[in-house]
């Protein structure tokens, strides 16, 4: 299949809308990461997403909407908390898991009785949903197991020849995937951290629990609240190791342990002080900049053929919880305290 490269022009957005309406696949920019979209109400179209990504069959997809009314037809119940969170954070990087309506095909939810819904803030994403005239199911547009794509080039690297079209909307602003919060239980439960922090959710609706799977590896037999959490995710070929501690101790660790083809994944300004190849992924005091740079840095290591990458890391709170969660998975939970 030939993959069309589209722009953000009105004409191209309407072409993407048509592809999607006809059961095809189009990669679209969002403020978090690029998504691989299909008509969420067409089970056959949605099944193609799993094939194109090589995605495990039990990992459900998020449904993207452009207008609040669309949520009503997709869920069987709208708790007050959902309306409050929608008013506060939509459009934006927040996915709410709610009891699903029958209209949502099994292919989207993988047999669960809940569905994740998000209204992206990216203008192009919402314009494509409008052009398609249907809600769009969209996981991140990477091959399963690869870091999520934050540029159209990343998408093309993984998906060229596998999907109908890619819309180039430039570099994603947030850089890590949306916050996923379940509103199916008594209290809101954060399943995946993102730019909307648990503190922000608690501020809006009174409380927000955080799934232990955010910072801990799931046990062999444990059932994941969010199926995506159980897969080795965001994994580059390079072996990533988190080296946690002061920069001074980090430097000493690198000096004593680095071998040929080992790289440093460090904060802005630190690279020149280290006598080894390095990628700077953001400013130490700016968590959003780290979120924006992380996945690009992880893909870069593979391109460079890096053997190992020693990673500097932030504190796991606020937006740092999202950055640390992704880094931890990229590292397969390997952390060395120095
Ligand atoms: O920012 C994002 O959310 C991006 C853009 C494209 O919108 N999408 C994205 O989708 O990251 P994906 O498929 O890569 O991740 C969806 C996550 C998975 O961890 C999945 O298990 C979880 O959301 N999820 C989806 N539906 C769920 C449900 N009904 N219950 C629990 N978890 C769910
Ligand atoms: Mg993903």
**What is residue 338's predicted lDDT score, i.e. its pLDDT?**
96
Q: Against a cut of 0.75, is the pTM above it? A: yes
Answer yes or no: are the C-beta atoms of 175 and 32 closer than 8 Å. yes
| pLDDT higher at 281 or 228 | 281
Residue 32, ligand 1, Cβ within 6 A: yes
Highest averaged pLDDT of the listed ranges 17-21, 221-225, 232-236: 17-21
- Over 70: is that where the pLDDT of 233 sits? no
Instruction: Point out the ligand 1 atom lying closest to the alpha carbon of residue 109.
Output: 29
Rg of the chain in Å (alpha carbons): 20
Q: Going by CA atoms, what residue is nearest to atom 18 of ligand 1?
A: 228
Strands (E), 9-118: 26-28, 35-39, 62-64, 94-99, 114-118
Q: Is 35 in the pocket of ligand 1 (CB under 6 A)?
A: yes
> Which helix (H) or strand (E) covers residue 190, if one does?
strand 189-192
Ligand 1 within 6 A of CB of 178: yes
Q: How far is the CA of 273 from the centre of ligand 1 (A)?
A: 39
Among 27, 55, 62, which residue has the most ligand 1 atoms within 8 Å of its CB, making it the best to mutate?
A: 62
Q: Express each pLDDT in 33-82 by its tens digit.
A: 999 999 999 999 999 999 999 998 899 999 999 999 999 999 999 999 99
Q: In percent, how much of the chain has pLDDT > 70?
A: 96
**Interacting residues of 106 by C-beta distance below 8 A, sequence separation 6+:** 43
**Rama region for 16: left / alpha / beta (φ>0; ψ in -120 to 50; rest):** alpha
Looking at residues 171-181, what average pLDDT do you find?
A: 98
Q: What are phi and psi of 245, to 5 degrees?
A: 155, -170
Tell me what the mean pLDDT of segment 148-172 comes to.
Answer: 98
Residue of 227, 234, 322 with the most ligand 1 atoms within 8 Å of its CB, for mutation? 227
Q: Is the pLDDT of residue 13 over 80?
A: yes
Q: How far apart are CA 283 and CA 305, in angstroms?
A: 25
Tell me if 124 CB under 6 Å of ligand 1.
Answer: no
Counting ligands in written order, the one closest to the CA of 120 is: 1
The CA 140 to ligand 2 mean position distance, Å, reads 4
Does 150 sit in the ligand 1 pocket, CB within 6 Å? no
For ligand 1, whether the C-beta of 59 sits within 6 Å is: yes
Question: Is pLDDT larger for residue 281 or for residue 225?
Answer: 281
d(CA 158, CA 143): 6
């Amino acid at each position: 299949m030939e993959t069309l490269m589209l722009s953000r022009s009105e004409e191209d957005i309407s072409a993407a809308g048509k592809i999607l309406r006809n059961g095809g696949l189009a990669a679209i920019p969002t403020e978090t990461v690029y998504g691989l979209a299909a008509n969420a109400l067409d089970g056959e179209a949605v099944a193609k997403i799993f094939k194109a990504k090589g995605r495990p069959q039990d990992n459900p997809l998020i449904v993207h909407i452009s207008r609040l009314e669309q949520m009503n037809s997709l869920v069987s119940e709208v708790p007050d908390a959902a309306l409050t969170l929608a008013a506060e954070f939509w459009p934006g990087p927040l996915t709410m898991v709610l009891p699903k309506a029958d209209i949502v095909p099994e292919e989207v939810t993988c047999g669960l009785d809940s569905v994740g819904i998000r209204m992206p803030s990216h203008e192009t994403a919402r314009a494509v949903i409008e052009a398609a005239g249907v809600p769009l199911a969209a996981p991140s547009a990477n091959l399963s197991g690869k870091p999520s794509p934050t540029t159209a080039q990343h998408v093309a690297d993984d998906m060229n020849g596998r999907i109908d079209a890619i819309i180039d909307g430039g570099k994603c602003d947030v850089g890590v995937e949306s916050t996923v919060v379940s509103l199916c239980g008594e209290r809101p439960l954060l399943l995946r951290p993102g730019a909307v922090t648990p503190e922000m959710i608690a501020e809006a609706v009174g409380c927000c629990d955080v799934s232990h799977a955010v910072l801990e590896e799931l046990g062999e037999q444990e059932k994941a609240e969010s199926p995506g959490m159980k897969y080795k995710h965001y994994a580059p070929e390079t072996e990533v190791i988190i080296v946690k501690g002061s920069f001074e101790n980090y430097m000493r660790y690198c000096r004593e342990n680095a071998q040929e083809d080992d790289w440093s994944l460090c904060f802005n300004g630190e690279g020149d002080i280290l006598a080894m190849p390095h990628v700077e992924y953001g400013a130490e005091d700016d968590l959003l900049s780290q979120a924006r740079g992380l996945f690009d840095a992880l893909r870069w290591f593979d391109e460079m053929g890096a053997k190992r990458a020693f990673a500097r890391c932030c504190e796991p709170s606020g937006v740092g919880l999202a950055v640390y969660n992704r880094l931890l998975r990229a590292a397969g939970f390997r952390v060395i305290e120095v």
